Amino acid sequence: MVSSLRTHRHAHYPPPWFSVAPMMEWTDNHYRTLARLISKNAWLYTEMLAAETIVYQKDNLDRFLEYSPEQHPIVLQIGGNNLENLAKATELAEPYKYDEINFNCGCPSPRVAGHGCFGARLMLDPKFVAEAMSVIAAHTDAPVSVKCRIGVDDHDSYNELCDFIYKVSSQSPTRHFIIHSRKALLNGISPAENRSIPPLKYEYFYGLLRDFPDLRFTINGGINTVDEVNAARRAGAHGVMVGRAAFQKPWHTLGHVDTAIYGAPSSGVTRRQILEKFQVYGDSAVGKYGRKPTVRDVARPLLGLFHSEPGNGVWKRKADAAFLHCTTMKSFFDETLVAIPDHVLDSPIGEPSSGGEDPFANIHTLLPPAYESREQELLYA
């Protein structure tokens, strides 16, 4: 597989106006295969892979890094806090020709942030992040980027966020930052609560656009529809990243990306056609590594495909039963798709719902005071 990917690094791809967030245990190869069948233009991200995993599994890399050429444009997200391992991991991933390498400085999970300064906790050490980004960039031909929060615990002022961006961008080749517009609370709340309890502060994101005009920023957090994506872009965002809505409602979210965001003509593709192609992929994937992946593993991303449609509840119940004994995707579909009416399976995506409130309508009246960098102090801090 590696050799077939070598020619794709410098191919022409659409701009990253819309991307699907890296989500641990969600944005795996199976999900990305489904996502690409629905949208040809969305940028896809891997799950976060720890640099140590890549290094220690160097004889088994395909299991973690392989993907089909159709998944381009695709970004590898890595995490870690050891410069040597980050260098080795990037070097080992290089033959797979990802289109960008992203460094995780935003995950609040105790498994990540609490594991020896990893994930969101790294925002407290911008000097190390700059060193890490320089090391990563030195071992790949791909562009590099950072995904972070707007702050951590009580380190949540706009100036502190700007100090982080300034230090990392001035001391490394990093020119792209994906900003989750909430701060991370590292003690006392769960990752799920970290996605809802800290308030969204979109004004911080748009302040960064004003104060760092030479950098590129992608907004993330609380954006769930193509209408909201387009509203964020109209307000000036270079790109928009969507997370759980793209996984939980892939048809209703990704199905509108190519037309409503990229201006492409409708492909007219139906869910039946998508599932026929996914079945071919799925039956080649099931059991590829011994007992794994199972039909349940491969089919998991499909469970939101009929969200809010007639037959969805019955389909999910049939799927739960089929997971207990089905050993091929064909048998799984034979047993479960009878729950979905033909008109649902054979209809192309409809028009996106519209008319919701624009969360960015007055954002430029709410911006924090302009950042004034303490250049000498910051560079030598």
Grouping H, G, I as helix, E, B as strand and the rest as coil, residue 373 is coil
Is 107 a known active-site residue? yes
- The predicted pLDDT at position 111 comes to 52
- The predicted pLDDT at position 3 comes to 36
Please give the backbone phi and psi of residue 177, each rounded to the nearest 5 degrees, phi first: -125, 130
Regarding pTM above 0.75, the answer is yes
**Biggest CA pair distance of the chain:** 67
Residue 380 has pLDDT above 70, yes or no: no
Reported as a single tens digit per residue, the pLDDT across 228-237 is 999 999 999 9
Measured CA to CA, the distance from residue 120 to residue 318 in angstroms comes to 39
Helix segments in the chain, DSSP class H: 2-5, 29-38, 51-56, 61-65, 83-93, 110-113, 126-138, 158-170, 191-194, 202-211, 226-234, 244-248, 250-254, 271-285, 295-299, 312-322, 329-336, 342-345, 375-379
Residue 239 has pLDDT above 80, yes or no: yes
Reported as a single tens digit per residue, the pLDDT across 79-88 is 999 999 999 9
Reported as a single tens digit per residue, the pLDDT across 299-357 is 999 999 999 999 999 999 999 999 999 999 999 999 999 999 999 999 999 888 776 78
Over residues 115-142, mean pLDDT: 90
Query: What is the CB neighbour count within 10 angstroms for residue 141?
Result: 10
- How confident is the prediction for the chain on average, in pLDDT? 92
Element (H, E) at 177: strand 176-180
Beta 239-242 vs 18-20: how paired, if at all?
A: parallel
Unique residue bearing structure tokens 């590594």: 289
Residue 123 has pLDDT above 90, yes or no: yes
> Catalytic: which of 105, 107, 148, 162?
107
Q: How far is CA 210 from CA 152, 161, 203, 216, 231, in A?
A: 22, 14, 11, 11, 17
Measured CA to CA, the distance from residue 135 to residue 131 in angstroms comes to 6
